[in-house]
Chains A and B, each alone.
Chain A
Amino acid sequence: MKPAAFEYLAVESVEQALEALGAAGGEAKIVAGGQSLVPMLNFRLLQPSLLVDVNRIPGLDFIEVEAERVRVGALTRHWRQEASPELRRHLPVLSAAMAEVAHLAIRNRGTLGGSLSHADPAAELPMIALLLEAEIVTAAPAGGRRVAARDFFLGALTTDLAEDELVVEVAFRRPAAGSGWAFEELARRSGDFALAAVAVTLRLEGGRIAEPRIALMGVDETALRAEAAEALLEGEAPGEALLAAAAEAVRARVQPNTDLHASADYRRHLAGVLTRRTLQTALARAAGEAA
């Protein structure tokens, strides 16, 4: 339960981080909040030769609200995403999801860039990045990239990031004014990884559903969007039968695993139930019936 020996470098700029990562030739790990990485080091599941600590890089902890997008710095901690008045106003679904991440002490340290780079299939931020069609902005020796969230998560704990690439910013798309939203997850105990979670945004236009977005986590190799269910809802008038059909489309889409916490069947069932509930809440909010 003690990590193997490693070298440690606290960098003070993105350039310095990239240089260290490049020189280590794939043997280095980046540490930000460390709330997922350090347990893996303690268990010796990972034994990097070098830990590149990015916590002291200035200018990566910010929230900027723009017309189309909200840009959030990679070092923004979960507690700030949960508490920020700007995010609560412009991306309430993100703030609501952040309140469900692990526990107080973990949220005090964990970071946006760290969670996306770690890509746990049962973590809230990858799901919210997919829901809000985030662009993940990276820095790399050959120049940075903007990667769409849908191209970023390749599998459990696997992303499109190169070994010498660092997430520096995430640009979430702002749902249109008047959008309704909802987030619900079910975990056996407060703060545990969720068995399943669903997040939704949508609008109502003349009584019909517009721009429905449904994202899930904990029910597949990565967080995912339920495109077929979204297509079913687009342009339709809400009703019980429609929501039931959307829930059925979600159940057909997901491929959960069985583990000691829950069976695959139960997780699939939950995905359907939570889809129906979140759609109801989002519709009520879009209709101005709920806060």
Chain B
Amino acid sequence: MTGKRLVRMTVNGSPVEEAVEPRLLLSDFLRQMLGLTGTHVGCEQGVCGACTVRLDGRTARACLTFAVQAEGSEIVTVEGLGTAEALSPLQEAFREHHALQCGFCTPGMLMTALDLLETRPGATDAELREGLSGNLCRCTGYEHIVAAVRAAAERLAREGKREGPP
């Protein structure tokens, strides 16, 4: 069936149901059908990391996943962190440490950093750099991004909190 088929999943905690073509990338599904334009589309070949989202608890490239494959899955996008009025601790740290300039890579950076905060809470700078190396940034030179993730990790540890909506 190259025709449309029904796909159901949970996105940022809300159930969604849409009819999609099998060839529709998850990145385009999120942006065009759900209007969640926080997930950015850069290279569409899995290299730049701008489209990184959380798929069933682990980060994934939305441009290397078809929406039909996410049937029954839990998706979290950057819109699932904080809001402009109430930033998450990680977003707050990005602002404090000037970890973004043009902002194009930022959603992917945040979603990858979220994974690092949860799976490697005591990561060294070298480990953070390795973890973030799959996300390209052309503005910042990365120093401020590493500083922001480290600061967020320290704050979350100090306050005994998890990254997410405040």
Contacts and interface: CB of A to CB of B under 8 A. Distances in A.
Interface in B111-166: 112, 115-116, 129-131, 133-135
Contacts of B84: none
Contact of A103 (B2, B65, B71, B134): B134
Contact of A191 (B52, B59, B116, B134): B134
Contact of B22 (A7, A43, A108): A7
Contacts of A23: none
Interface residues of A, number: 31
5 contacts: A6-B22, A79-B58, A108-B58, A108-B60, A191-B133
Interface string A1-37: 1111111101000000000000000000001001100
Nearest to A37: B64
B71 A5 contact: no
Contact of A35 (B25, B44, B46): B46
A10 B68 contact: yes
A1 B1 CA distance: 21
A10 B133 contact: no
A51 B22 contact: yes
A79 B55 CA distance: 14
Contacts of A103: 49, 133-135
Interface string A78-111: 0100000000000000000000001111101100
Contacts of A104: 59, 112, 115-116, 131, 134
Interface of B: 1-2, 5, 21-23, 25, 28, 44-46, 49, 52, 58-61, 63-66, 68-69, 71, 112, 115-116, 129-131, 133-135
A139 to B, nearest CB: 22
B134 A105 contact: yes
B65 A38 contact: yes
Contacts of B49: 103, 105
Contacts of A158: none
B52 to A, nearest CB: 5
B66 A102 contact: no
Contacts, number: 91
9 closest cross-chain pairs (CB), A and B: A103-B134, A8-B22, A190-B133, A39-B45, A108-B58, A38-B64, A1-B44, A5-B2, A105-B59
Residue of B2, B46, B112, B115 ringed by the most chain A CB atoms within 10 A: B46
A248 interface: no
Contacts of A8: 1, 5, 22, 66, 68
A34 B134 contact: no
A38 B45 CA distance: 8
A2 B64 contact: no
Nearest to B44: A1
B112 A105 contact: yes
Contact of B52 (A35, A38, A55, A105): A105
B57 to A, nearest CB: 9
Interface string A190-221: 11000000000000000000000000000000
B21 A109 contact: no
A6 B22 CA distance: 7
A102 B134 contact: yes
B122 to A, nearest CB: 16
Given A104-B112, A105-B134, 19 more contacts: A2-B23, A2-B25, A2-B44, A3-B23, A4-B23, A5-B22, A7-B2, A8-B5, A39-B45, A39-B64, A41-B23, A42-B45, A103-B133, A103-B135, A105-B49, A106-B61, A106-B134, A108-B58, A108-B60
A133 interface: no
A74 B94 CA distance: 39
A227 interface: no
A190 B130 contact: yes
Contacts of A39: 45-46, 64
Interface string A173-189: 00000000000000001
Contacts of A3: 23, 25
Contacts of B71: 10
Contact of A109 (B1, B60, B66): B60
B136 to A, nearest CB: 10
